[in-house]
Every structure is written in structure tokens, then in C-alpha cells.
A = this chain, B = another copy of it.
Amino acid sequence: MPAYATNMRLKFPILALILEIITIILYAVFVTYDDGKGHGHDANSNHTSNPVELYPMFQDVHVMIFIGFGFLMTFLKKYGFSSVGINLLLAAFGLQWGLLMQGVWHMDHGKIKVDVFKMINADFSTATVLISFGAVLGKTSPVQLLIMTILEITIFSINEHLVANILSANDVGASMIIHAFGAYFGLAVARVLYRPGLRNGHENDGSVYHSDLFAMIGTVFLWMFWPSFNSAIAEPGFVQLTAVINTYLSLAACVLSAYAISSLVEHKGKLDMVHIQNATLAGGVAVGTCADMNIQPFGAMLIGVVAGIISTLGFKYLSVS
């Protein structure tokens, strides 16, 4: 497509560079390092004496965003390489923009003071974009995707602020609701769009086999690190431990029910990769809104089991196949 190419050649680089330059100017005016002397509204970030204490959890979330989401979409074989590459582009810009959009609500003497807590939230804000990206993969240009990134993260940050701070809703839970529905809806759409295509395009099984293994890299990293995702911004101490345990058990229980229902509804009792991915996501998402609450371990597991059943049935009977 020479027309598209010429377009791209001019529009994409100009847009990308302009956005980056605007972002840098805004950073020059508004953003500085956290120096530990802040009295911001952001209570959680001041709980710890060591400013990099949350760093390992940040890196877990980082792996989910860049490896997890990046490779999850490689099962869309045709767009496999671009899924990892464009995922990197959108998330790299998204986190810069997200830090800014989320930070304006928590300024300290007119400055956004960056710390690991804010970096985790910035990664979170990109998740919504990456999910939407999954739904439109292969149908949009990088230019459209960059514009989508700006819009979606801006709206997400305003929403998050309204729900959490104006309506005084539970902070972790509220932002999780947003994540959860965003993520889940997006992935559902992606799968609905993807499955008919997969069924028709099975001419090269070896290749599909390898693409599935690449997708499993994303899936398993998401599954493993979801406890970090749900607990990273929880109150430090036993509340954070509770969020870890609830997510860990919900995810484990969800695997059993998702595999069970998958094997029940599939033609030959065979396990389908898409159900493993349901298991991955449903348990973590479903428990996300109450991960830091005292729902007891068995409560978290019940949530996981139900999420695994509903999501697998949903994908079976709501998707076009």
C-alpha cells in the first residue's frame, strides 16, 4: 500500500516527535524527583522509609505490561511481531503521559514528584490502552493508536480521580474496577474478533503451534505476576499480604474451573489455549476489586472458580465460532 506508506512516512514520525516534545516540555515545568520531603495527598507513597522498597513489585507490573500484554497478542499470528513492537511503543508513551495525567491531582508545591508508587500507577494507566489495542490490532495505524493512547489515558486518569477522590470510594478497589472492566471487555472483544479468523486460517499448524507458545509466555507471566498487580498499590503490611494471598488463590482456583468447563464444552474434550488465557485473566480481574479486603482465602477461591466458569462459558457462547 504505497499511499498508506507515504502517509505513515510523514504522519507517524511527526506525530510521535511532537507528542514527545510536548511531553518533555510539560515534564520540564511540572515534574521532579521525589525527595522524601513531600506532604502530598498520596499517603501510600510515604509509608516506607526506603524509596525503592516497592521497586520489585513495580518490575513485576512492568513485566506484565511489556512481556505479558506484548506476547499475549502474538497468538494473532499475522500481527505477531507488530503486537510486541507496537505494545512497546504505546506503553512507553502511555506511561509518560499517564504519570503526568495522574500526577496533576497530587501536586506538591506545583510539582509532580515521581516515585516508584507513581511509576506503578503510570504502568497501570497504560494497561487500559493495551487492552483496547488488543481489540483493534491489525485494523488501525500507529498514528491512530498514539491518538487513542492520549485520549484513553487522559479520560482514565480523570475517571480514576473522580471515583477515588471525589466520590471517596475505596482507592484500590475503585481503580481496580476501572482496570477490570476495561481489561476484560477489551480482551473479550479481541477474542470474539480473533476466533473466526483462527478457525479459517489453520493451514500452517507448526506455525500456529509456535505462536501459541509465544502467547503462553505472555499468559503465564500475567498469571504469575497478577498478585503484584493487585497488591502493588495496596497499603503496605498485612493489607498488602492479604491482596497477594487473595489474588494468588483466586488465580489458582480459576485455572481448575476454567479447564474443567473448557473441556466440558469443547468438541472433543480438548483444552483450548483461549481457555487457559481465560483462567489467566478471569481470576485476577474478578478478585481485583476486593483483593485487599478480608474476604478470607476460601472467598477468594470461590470468586476465582466462578470467574473461571463464567468467562469460559462466555467465550464459548458469546463469540462467533
- In the complex, residue of chain B having the shortest beta-carbon distance to the beta carbon of A93: B256
Residue in B223, B244, B269 whose CB lies within 8 Å of A8: B269
Residues of chain B within 8 A (CB-CB) of A276 are 85, 88
- Decide if A116 is an interface residue (CB 8 Å cutoff): yes
Residue pair A256, B84 in contact (C-beta under 8 Å): no
The reply to whether B253 and A5 form a contact with Cβ atoms under 8 Å apart is no
State which of A54-62, A153-161, A186-194 sits at the interface with chain B. Answer: A54-62
How many monomers of this protein are in the complex? 3
Q: Are A62 and B241 in contact (CB under 8 A)?
A: no
Identify the closest chain B residue to A25 (Cβ): B298
Residue numbers in B under 8 Å from A225 (CB-CB): 59
**Interface residue range, chain A:** 35 or more
B33 touching A297, Cβ below 8 Å = yes
Contact A67 B302 (CB under 8 A): no
If over half of A's interface residues share one DSSP class (helix, strand or loop), that class is named, otherwise mixed; here it is helix
Q: Are A32 and B212 in contact (CB under 8 A)?
A: no
A167 interfacial by beta-carbon distance below 8 Å = no
Chain B residues within an 8 Å CB radius of A210: 207, 210, 214
| Separation of A48 and B5 alpha carbons in the complex (Å) | 55
Q: How far is the CB of A16 from chain B (nearest CB, A)?
A: 4
Distance between A120 CB and nearest chain B CB, rounded to angstroms: 11
Q: Are B213 and A27 in contact (CB under 8 A)?
A: no
Interface residues of A in 182-206 (CB under 8 A from B): 204, 206
A33 to chain B, nearest CB (A): 5
Residues A5 and B268 in contact in the complex (CB < 8 Å), given A51-B237, A51-B240: yes
A137 touches B (CB below 8 Å): no
Q: CB distance A32 to B297 under 8 Å?
A: yes
| Contact in complex: A263, B13 (CB < 8 Å) | yes
For the complex of A and B, the 7 pairs showing the least CB-CB separation, nearest first, are A8-B269, A92-B255, A9-B269, A13-B260, A28-B298, A16-B260, A27-B298
